[in-house]
Amino acid sequence: MAGTAARRIEELRARIREADRAYYVLDNPVLSDAEYDRLMRELLALEEAHPDLATADSPTRRVSGEPGERFAKVAHREPMLSLGNVVSDVELDEFDARVHRLLDLPPGAPVGYVCEPKLDGLAVELVYLSGELAEGSTRGDGAVGEDVTANLRTVGALGANAGVLPRLRGRAPARLEIRGEVLLQKEHFEAMNRVLGRQGDAFFANPRNAAAGSLRQLDWRVTATRPLSFVAYEALRPGEPAWPTHWAKLEALATWGFAVNPENRRCEGIAEVKRWKDEMAERRFSLPYDTDGLVVKVDDLDQQRRLGAASKFPRWAVAFKYPPQEETTRVERIWASVGRTGVLTPVVEVTPVRLGGATVSRATLHNEDEMRRKDVRVGDVVLIRRAGEVIPEVVKSIPERRDGTEREFVFPERCPECGARVVREEGEKVYRCTGAACPAQLVGRFTHYAQRRALDVDGLGEAVAAALVARGHVRDFADLYSLPAATWEAMEIAETKTGSTVKLGVPRTRRIREALERSKVAGLRRLLFGLGIPQVGEATAVTLARHFGTLERFLGATEEDLLGVRDVGPETAREIRAWIDEPQNRRVVDRLVEAGVRPAAEEAPRGGVFAGKTVVLTGGLVKLSRDEAKAEIERRGGKVSGSVSRKTDLVVEGEDAGSKAEKARELGVKIVDEAGFLRLLEGEG
């Protein structure tokens, strides 16, 4: 039995040391925090059960991490210790009972505590001599850290909420040692990863590793480009009178100009600590930084001194850890889910794990580029993250834990829901189903078909479309035209504001059915846009409608014919022709024609004042709607653009016009008001 325990102890120590080096030195975690904590707890239990196997260099006796080889070493005057973890109210009560016992206090005697959010960053020490920053270092192994003074001087230089002070405010002691956390706030972490993605570089797994990697750059100028923050939580002033409490120390830090956490809380007794801990369990998700727990410290500094410290942890403080938001698990399967817009999203099925208080068996990757960048394969061990009620996402794969049996996922060529062709459009990051009657995307397709810029079916919004699909009343666009009035009227719709359901009723039914009748003879441009053909946006639909004139001519166009259309390139021509050739789509169009849809032939633009010119509309118009003004410009051969450039010929400035009008003036582009625009229209008849 002892031999088995000894082997397991050595195995655990080796895994923890490897994880420490990956996390603290390489900034590339190979274990989740929860997995690491489980291994450490198992090792502690084994060493307690077999004290003869405990050693001084065990990870349970030493501060995690080590100073890297790239920087000069700095010895800390006093050790920078780690904190012991607790995960339940029972363990918090045990900590409080231990404090009472060691201080020889009767049970129930009040002990003051300070609770601070446990920050997910890199612990550092700043040394100030006569108020001037003289030295800055990382925690390292607790006794010796890395000299990163030049890098620390840049923290906050990009306007982050808090920075490292070059000098202290007010009166300062001869020597002051400040300890705190360098961290990246959530928005800055996401912005950094976006930049890395555009550059083709590997993403950081979490804000802590991003902060550590940013601070431990050999060139301080690189660190200066990273939006790091610094939050102070400890101060030491050798040779000076001691503060009475830790809270007084935090107040002194603020007086010197340091940022201290506004979420810090003084609590009288462990019951109040637990109440604040429960309140922070939900509040933490709205904080601008990541936190996975609370640090609970005895407030009275004389009591702290009497409690002392073990080899690794102070006896006067403990970290309460919330249920993990990150966990490692294994990918069992990857498959493509078809969304309401036809986008195929890779869904990762994983070995179920407890995460954020819930059992998680699925996580998401947003698109193929993200899946390839994170190099996620079937069989991989992956780190997944869940914050609050957000769907878990895969943070990263851990290639170091592969055994060679892993397989890459390949997107299907045919939609798993309807069998239509799947395409990845030029310039897009996603694969999309091309089926016009795909059941997975019917609500989105109906909403698009009915929107004002397409067939303009007033009253047919998302809630109505969802009710139609949920009750099986429609399979494609044509079914909208044959649905009996009684079915419309009796259909129950979920009200967005109240959450209750109401019958559609007679007035709304009449409005929708009248709009559907009008849509039968809407222009060809509206129908082509409403059908959701790949690569065919509103502008391309106008160009196609003008070129071909009728639906029949459009459906019969070859790729060569399509290439003859202005602004239609080879990729667009290929996608349009493939959409027409898809049997499912052709059936949808045929059924629309059978239902009486006869789009009006598109009138070719006549020459006029706007012929060959680019016009920008900005601000509100009184006499015409934006769509009406756009139609009038296009009828006269013009093109409406959404932005102003040197190629813009005219800007129509309505009420409350903004930056577009200002830019037009800077570029010298001609500007007319609404009255001038109307005169141009009247002059052309």
Q: Is residue 446 part of a domain?
A: yes
Structure tokens at 513: 């059915």
* Range in 193-197, 255-259, 311-315 the model is least confident about: 193-197
Q: Is residue 586 part of a domain?
A: yes
198 and 85 within one domain:
yes
Mean pLDDT computed over every residue of the chain? 85
Q: Is residue 68 part of a domain?
A: no
Q: Is residue 317 part of a domain?
A: yes
Distances (CA, A) of 192 to 123, 187, 204, 372, 436: 21, 9, 9, 19, 39
Find the CATH number of the domain harbouring 638: 3.40.50.10190
527 and 476 within one domain:
yes
567 and 510 within one domain:
yes
> What is the per-residue pLDDT for 75?
92
515/396: higher pLDDT:
515
155 and 234 within one domain:
yes
Nearest to 154 by CA among 110, 217, 197: 217
330 and 289 within one domain:
no
Q: Is the dihedral of CA 660, 662, 663, 665 positive or negative?
A: positive
What residue spans of 603-643 are helical by DSSP H? 626-635
Distances (CA, A) of 565 to 546, 611, 620: 9, 17, 33
Q: Is residue 160 part of a domain?
A: yes
453 and 564 within one domain:
yes
Backbone angles phi, psi at 435, to 5 degrees: -75, 125
266 and 177 within one domain:
yes
Q: Is residue 608 part of a domain?
A: no
* The domain boundary residue, chosen from 289, 321, 353: 321
Find the CATH number of the domain harbouring 584: 1.10.150.20
SS (H, E, C) 308-350: CECCCCECCEEEEECCCCEEEEEEEEEEEEECCCCEEEEEEEE
Find the CATH number of the domain harbouring 362: 2.40.50.140
Find the CATH number of the domain harbouring 8: 1.10.287.610
587/1: higher pLDDT:
587
- Write the DSSP symbol of residue 414: B
Q: Give the pLDDT confidence of 506-546 residue by residue, as tens digits.
A: 999 999 999 999 999 988 989 999 998 888 888 788 889 88
Residues belonging to the chain = 685
447 and 307 within one domain:
no
**Total of domains in the chain:** 5
> Which residues is 360 bridged to in the sheet?
353
Q: Give the pLDDT confidence of 284-330 residue by residue, as tens digits.
A: 888 888 888 999 999 999 999 999 987 778 999 999 988 777 788 99
Where in the sequence numbering do the catalytic residues fall? 118
Q: Is residue 525 part of a domain?
A: yes
Q: Is residue 56 part of a domain?
A: yes
Nearest to 228 by CA among 290, 154, 333, 178: 154
334 and 210 within one domain:
no
Find the CATH number of the domain harbouring 184: 3.30.470.30
105 and 242 within one domain:
yes
Which residue has tokens 């899946």?
Answer: 371
Domain boundaries, position 363 = 326-401
293 and 203 within one domain:
yes
Could you give the CA distance from residue 334 to residue 618 in angstroms, rounded to a whole number? Answer: 46
Could you give the CA distance from residue 668 to residue 666 in angstroms, rounded to a whole number? Answer: 6
CB proximity list for 117: less than 8 A, separation 6 or greater: 261, 263, 264, 280, 284, 287, 289, 291, 293, 294, 295
330 and 314 within one domain:
no
